[in-house]
Amino acid sequence: MGRKPFFRTLIFYFIVLALMGAGNIHIANGQEYSVSATPDSTLMVIGGQMNLTLEVTQPKNLKVVFPQFTDTITRNIEIVETSAPDTTVISDERISVKQVLRITSFDSGLHYIPPMTFELASADMQARERTRSIGLMVVNPFKEVDPQKGITDIKAPLNTPFKFSELYRFLPWILGGLAAVLLIGAGIWFYIKRRNPLNALIRQKPKEPAHVVALRKLDHIKEEKIWQKGQIKQFHSDISTILRHYIEDRYGIQAPEQITSEILESLRQVDLPDEKVTEKVRQVLELSDMVKFAKFEPLPDENDISLINSYFFVNQTKYEELKTPEESVKQTEQIHSEN
């Protein structure tokens, strides 16, 4: 017999489903109540899932026991999950209680959900109420399997060897990405290592020793003699700054960011020649603080003492690398030639 068109079968099933009710309303002893079982749809794909909602509308004084199931409703309809009953207040005297069953089916065709029995009881009545049966159409949208052909093996993976020619169209992007990474890396290296990218392209002169820089700056102050021109505050600020930077370069102490007491405490942790050296730098820094912050007016001799103590501190703590006899001779000849 030839197979009927699929859409005609569906129309027939929908006509059958339309003739089925989903709920009953009854009045017993003046108490109105209703029970129902309502699916999300009457059509489900095989292996799919939907909700079947059980609901009873009742007076508040009526006790109701919902239908009890295990893991199936019928042989063809399985229960995936069951929710707890949920109560909604309709009015002062009436409530609605719902329970949701999550159902599925793995057999195609038209299946019937039989009537479900609710047990109701109150002080003056007992009753059992049943929902009407429900039709559920389960369809298989996939191509049917021919049992005459038997079970076939899983197809092996296709052998698709890699070819470098497949990368040609991506080559500009790959080269462009590599170039961008190299440029970014070079920029970061220049910034971190050199701070100024242009310095990386210019041959750097050897850094002068800390004491050479400090003594040159002190010589400049000595020649200017600004303390004799009334610029007392500027004079003490300048020699204090010179010593702070010298201490930073010589010992690695963050002296420019520290106050005088912190600098002196840090100097106790380094190897100074003797206590006299510490007292010399203490005099310079403390007098500078008094002039800058307390508007102290030092005597002329105190200005000279600060300059002398600055020279003393640098000369007593300077670090000079030992030179070979050849380097000493070359330095001596250079000094004579300059003179």
3-class state of residue 10 by DSSP: helix
Which residue carries 């509308």 as its tokens? 57
Nearest to 101 by CA among 132, 87, 129, 80: 80
What b/e sequence results for 69-89 when a residue is b if at least 16 CB atoms lie within 10 Å of its CB, and e otherwise? eeeebeebbbeeebeeeeeee
Structure letter (DSSP) for residue 204? P
pLDDT in tens, the chain (339 residues): 444 555 555 555 544 444 444 445 555 454 588 899 999 988 999 989 999 999 999 888 888 889 888 899 989 999 999 999 999 998 888 899 999 999 999 998 899 899 988 888 877 778 888 898 888 899 988 766 555 665 566 667 777 776 666 667 777 888 888 899 998 988 887 777 665 555 555 555 677 899 999 999 999 999 988 888 889 999 999 999 999 999 999 999 999 999 999 999 999 888 888 888 889 999 999 999 999 888 888 888 898 999 999 999 999 998 876 555 665 566 556 645 655
Which residue carries 């963050």 as its tokens? 254
By the 8 A CB rule, do 64 and 101 touch?
no
Which residue carries 């959900």 as its tokens? 113
pTM for the full model? 0.40
Nearest to 317 by CA among 240, 217, 210, 206: 210
Please count the residues of the chain.
339
- Residues 260, 321: Cα–Cα separation, whole Å: 29
By the 8 A CB rule, do 251 and 267 touch?
yes
By the 8 A CB rule, do 101 and 82 touch?
yes
- Residues 28, 295: Cα–Cα separation, whole Å: 105
